[in-house]
Each structure stands twice: as structure tokens, then as C-alpha cells.
Amino acid sequence: MAFHTLAIGTSALLTASYGLDVTGQNLGNIETPGYSRQRLNQEALTGWTAGLNNSIIGTGVWTQSVKRIGNEYIEKQLRQATSSDAYYTDLQRCYSNLQSFFSELSGLNRESGGTALSDAINNFWDGMSDFAANVENLSIRTTVATEAEQLASRFNSLGQQLAEYRKDVDNEIAESVVQINRLIEGITQLNKAIVNSELGGASDRVANDLRDQRGEAIKELYGYMDIDVVEEANGSFIVSIHGRNLVYYDQVTPIAMDKTPSDDGTMVNTPVFAGDRYPLRPSDGELAAQIEMRDVVIKSYKDDIDKLAANFIWEFNRAYSQTRGLESFSSLTSLNAPTNPAETLDKLVYKDLIPAGTFQIQNGNFEIIIHNRNTDEPTTVNIEIDLDGRPSSGGEPDTILWDPDNPDAENSLVNRMQRELDKVMPGVFEVSIDRQYRVSIESKSPDYGFCFGADTSGVLAALGLNAFFTGHNSTSMGVNPLLAEQPALLGGAKSFADGDNSGAMELMAVRDQAVAGLADMTLEVYYQSVAGRLASEANRVSNQKELSGDILTRMFTQRESLAGVNEDEEVAKMITYQRAFQSAAKFISTMDQLYETLINM
């Protein structure tokens, strides 16, 4: 008997103690996100020659290592699944919000106060139908104005919701960048800690818990964008995206934020690499979804609704401007003011941020109808709009609105209207332009009023002379306040004959006409196509989210089955190590007694 038997007992005791430490670490971190269970690797110590026939006797057990259980392939698949699921989660949320804004699933109608835009559109046309059947009824005229205001309000609400949601997502992008910078800075610190702990790969030491923390940070970063990760020989990670480094050992390339103009002129947050301001363009993850939501999804539906509102305003106003009400005008001022009245009419750019090309004036003419209020006798005055690109026979160039530097210009629309009216009734009407470049027509005699007739140029609708709707898109759409204040002015006739509803019938015809600005669809069909596309895309994204969620769940299950902590298994190991510890202690106690006996002999 040799004294090395005490060393054997001691090694067994220590190994059992280490085993209990590892088991306790596993059980303690059973709920820690990203924790990989650890396993104690032990080996028998090499023996030495002793005893009869030079028999080899073992010298005990030693703890070779504490191994972190995992599979890098599964970890990579889990990270990629995390990125894809985060992308579709955000997109699904976006489409869910859009459907809520459009409210097309409400199924409500006029009687129950529908909240969808389609309800408001239908209610407006129903009101117009009632008006066409009872064109002189003041109560119905008031109802038409009310229905129109509700339609404009619904357009306003939807447009504002989309615009505000786009701003919210823009703010989310900024917050995502803050979190990305936090993560890459944390990964850098963990890189340094791991390299220091593992001596840069020069030892067999493995910083298991630090590697778990870094792995969880990497997975969280994957949730924001599709990164690439490469491990260096010293144990550090290189983290990059599309070939550009974010983390290289202890060096960080943070993400900064630039303000850049979007297609609609608004300033938005643009993630860029801080060094050279190169745009960051992730293709997966939460940040990629947010950028797509802001720049593609939400913007496209906002553009669609703006286009619908603009064409609704334009087409209805074009038809409406050629109608007359129960009363003729004594004075009228245009609603839309150009920035430069000296431009030819087809090139006018309007104030109030109206995009160029929203209202198009073309070569043609329009009629001013002088109304003799005593006899109801009409007198038609034709106003030519010359936009053919060639000087007239008298050398007059194309028509402009008015030239501040040449107030008497012959080709000024203001001057032309005044000349033509004076030819028929000198001194009765005055045409002027104010400092905002709004055109006014005023009758100086209570015996004469005016209204408008046929307009092939679109100048009346473009300038907002005798307009029904105001504004130029969903958020600015409104109703001419004159109609609520003076329902008798609501145009529904083409003559001064009692009961004439021909104008109202032409307005109703707008509902079914193909609109060039809407790909030759009617107003309602275009809106239905937008709502239908929303439903279809929302369903597609929902299916993709379900699929990505299933993949993520499957990869997480695989990861947990391999690297996760199983409480029953760990408890069984704990009992095993406990008994091993007790046995080792008993062995040492027994050997102590034997040595004591030998010594006392």
C-alpha cells in the first residue's frame, strides 16, 4: 500500500466537486437566454508501476475540461431564422396597421355610419344621386355638402394616419440604430474578454459563459439585420454586413444617422456607416423591414390614396366648374394661387406644396355666362386659352395668367377675360388679381351675375374657379366653404331653366368614367384595386410570417435539444456526482484508517 492512494481519493473528491459545480451552473442558468449547457470531461490519470510483477496501478482521475455543448451549424441556422422572423414580424405588424387604417373589413354601410373610405365614397355618390333627383331641394343640397365634407374628412384621416405612421416607423429606424450600436459595442467588449480569458487561443481554456453572452448578442443583432460572422484564431468574432466590417476584434464601425430627402420631399432617417457615410442597406431583419415599410409599403399606399384624392378632386371639379346653381355669382375668387403667374398656363406651379402636374391646363377655351337676373337671359362670352406653342396671327404668345412686370400684356388671361366681358357689357364686370395671384371676377351691377359654361381647357378646375372640392391630395382635400354657407350656389344645372338637373347628371357620370390618371380605371375601381392589393399582400406576408415562425421554432427546438439544459438530466447528474463525492470521501476516510493502523504497528 502506497500513499498515492490518498491522491487517488483526493482527485476523485475534487472531480465530483467540479461535477457538482458544473451541474449547479447548468441548473442555475436553465432560464438564461442563449445559455449552452456545460459538460465536465474527465479522464483517468496515467498509472505507475508498482507491486508484484510490475503491475500498473492508476493514480486517480483528472478534470480534462468543461465543454460547452453546441453545434455551430444549428446556431447559424437559428440566427438566420431569427433575422427572417424579425423581418416578417415587423412587416405583418405594418400590414395589420394598414388594414386597420383602411377599415375595409368593417362591413358598415351608410345607415350604420361606415368608417371605411369606400363607405364614404358610396355615401357621397348616394347623396349626389338624391341631388340629381331633387336638384332644387335646399335640404338635399345641404346633405350633399355634408356627405362631401365627410368624404374629404375620411380622405384626410386616412392620409394623415399613413403620414404619421410613416413618421413613427422613421423614428423606429433611429431607435433600431441605437440598439445596433449598443450590440456591436457589447460584442467588441466580449471579444476582448474572451481573447484575454483564453489567452488568444494559446491555451486550452474556453470562456464558455462569455461565448454564450456573445452568441446571444450576435443572435440579437441578427434580429436587426442580416450580418456575417467569422471567428478568428484568437477566438474573436469579425462581424460584417455585405462585406463591410462592423466589428473587428476591438474595433467598431458604428452606424450613424443622416437626414435625407425621400421621394415626396420629406426628410427621413438614413442609416449610414459613420466613417464614410455609405448607406447601410440590410436585406433581412427588423431594420430592413422598417426601411421597407417606410420607403416602399406605407409610402406606396399613401401615394395611391393621394393619387385617388387628386384625381377625385380634379375630375369632379372639371365637371362641376361647368355647372351652375340656383343663383349666379356676384363675385368669385379662385382658390389655387400659382407661384409665378407669368408662366404659360400649362406650366403653372401652384403654392401650398401642390406637386407640378397635379392640375393640367391645355389648349382650348371656356365660357363665362352672363346672367340677366331680371329676365334670366344668358349671354355667353368665350375665352380662348392659347397653348399651342405658336404665336397667334397677331403675334401674341401662349396664354399666361398675368405678368407683374407687364400688367397690360395681351396674352394675360386676366386681361383677356376683362376685354371679352367689356366687349359684351362694358364696365359691368371687373377681373382682377390679388397679391397672392388669385383671380377675382366681380359684377358691379345687382342686375347681372355670372357663372360658367363649357371648359375644354381645364383652366377653371386648375385655378379653382367654381370648384366643389379644395386641396390637391388626401390630407389637403376639403369642400368649398361657399357650398355650406350658400347651398343655392351648388351647381347642378346647365341652364337657368327650372328643374334642370343636366349638370348633376354629368357629375354623376364622373363616377363611371375611366380616369387616365388612374390607369383608365374609374375612381371606385381604382380604390378597390388598392384595397384588394392591401388584402392580398397582407395575406402573403401573414403566410410568410407563419412559415418563418415555424422555421424559427424548429431551429430553436433543435438547438435546445442539443444545447439546452434538461432539468431531469441535470438532477440525475447531481445525484451521481453527490454519490461520487460521498464515495470518494468514504474512500479517503477508509485509507486514513488503514494508514493509521500501518503507522501504529
pLDDT at 65: 83
Distance between CA atoms of residues 18 and 12, nearest Å: 10
The grid coordinates of residue 99 equal: 388594414
Q: Is the pTM of this model over 0.85?
A: yes
Cα–Cα distances (Å) from 492 to 322, 386, 500, in that order, read 9, 29, 7
| Partners of residue 478 on adjacent β-strands | 470
| Partners of residue 38 on adjacent β-strands | 68
Question: In this structure, are residues 106 and 113 in contact, taking their beta carbons and an 8 Å threshold?
Answer: no
Distance between CA atoms of residues 249 and 187, nearest Å: 9
**How many other β-carbons are positioned within 10 Å of the β-carbon of residue 169?**
23
**How many other β-carbons are positioned within 10 Å of the β-carbon of residue 507?**
23
pLDDT at 481: 94
Low pLDDT (below 70) residues in the chain: 1-3, 48-54, 104-115, 393-394
pLDDT at 600: 80
DSSP H helices, 450-521, are 459-463, 481-485, 502-509
* Every domain of the chain and the residues it spans: 4-69+567-600, 130-164+303-519
pLDDT at 49: 59
pLDDT at 104: 66
pLDDT at 258: 94
pLDDT at 111: 46
Distance between CA atoms of residues 290 and 170, nearest Å: 8
Which residues have a Cβ under 8 Å from the Cβ of 338 and sit 6 or more positions away?
Answer: 348, 349, 350, 351, 401, 437
pLDDT at 596: 76
The grid coordinates of residue 180 equal: 445596433
Model confidence pLDDT, tens digit, residues 353-363: 788 888 989 99
pLDDT at 207: 92
Q: Is 50 helix (H, G, I), strand (E, B) or coil?
A: strand
Model confidence pLDDT, tens digit, residues 366-408: 999 999 999 999 999 999 999 988 877 667 899 999 999 999 9
The grid coordinates of residue 138 equal: 335646399
Phi, psi of 410 (to 5 degrees): -65, -35
| Partners of residue 350 on adjacent β-strands | 338
The grid coordinates of residue 46 equal: 496515467
In 217-375, beta strands by DSSP E: 228-231, 237-241, 244-248, 251-252, 255-261, 267-273, 331-333, 364-372
Question: In this structure, are residues 458 and 399 in contact, taking their beta carbons and an 8 Å threshold?
Answer: no
Distance between CA atoms of residues 495 and 500, nearest Å: 7
pLDDT at 395: 73
| Partners of residue 429 on adjacent β-strands | 443
Q: Which of 408, 323, 327 is nearest to 367 (CA)?
A: 323
pLDDT at 453: 96
pLDDT at 115: 66
Cα–Cα distances (Å) from 90 to 37, 95, 150, 204, 396, in that order, read 32, 9, 32, 43, 60
